[in-house]
Chains A and B, each alone.
Chain A
Amino acid sequence: MPEATGDRAPSSCRELFAVFTRLALQGFGGVLPVAQRELVERERWLSREQFLRMLSLAQVLPGPNVINLALMIGDRYFGWRGAAAALGGMLLAPLALVLLLAMLALRLQDWPLVTGALRGMGVAAAGLVLATAVKLGAGLRRNVLGLPLVALGVALTLIAVGVLRWPLVWVVLGLGIVSCSAAWWRLPR
Chain B
Amino acid sequence: MTTLLWGPLGLGTAEWLQLFVHFLALSLLAIGGAMTTAPDMQRFVVGERGWLSDAQFTASVALAQAAPGPNVLFVAVIGFNIGGLAGMLATMAGTLLPSTTLALTATRWGDRRRESRVLRAFTAGLAPLTIGLLLATGWILLEPARTHPGTAVLVVATLWLMLRTTWSPLWPIALGAGVGAAGLL
Contacts and interface: CB of A to CB of B under 8 A. Distances in A.
B103 A187 contact: no
Contact of B39 (A98, A122, A130, A161): A161
Contacts of B185: 116, 119-120, 123
Contact of A158 (B80, B96, B139): B139
B133 A157 contact: yes
Given A116-B180, A122-B58, A62 B127 contact: no
A97 B69 contact: yes
Contacts of A1: none
A126 B141 contact: yes
Given A27-B69, A75-B104, A180-B125, A169 B25 contact: yes
Chain B at the A interface: SS class: helix
B50 interface: no
B177 A121 contact: yes
B47 interface: yes
A157 B132 contact: yes
A16 interface: no
B159 A62 contact: no
A184 B118 contact: yes
A169 B84 CA distance: 27
A183 B121 contact: yes
B88 interface: yes
Interface string A147-166: 00111111111100111010
Nearest to A64: B72
A175 B129 contact: yes
Contact of B40 (A62, A64, A135, A161): A161
B126 interface: yes
B162 to A, nearest CB: 4
Interface of B: 4, 8, 25-35, 37, 39-40, 43, 47, 55, 58-73, 76-77, 80-81, 85, 88, 92, 95-96, 98-100, 102-104, 106-107, 110-111, 114, 117-142, 144-145, 151, 154-159, 162-163, 168-170, 172-173, 175-185
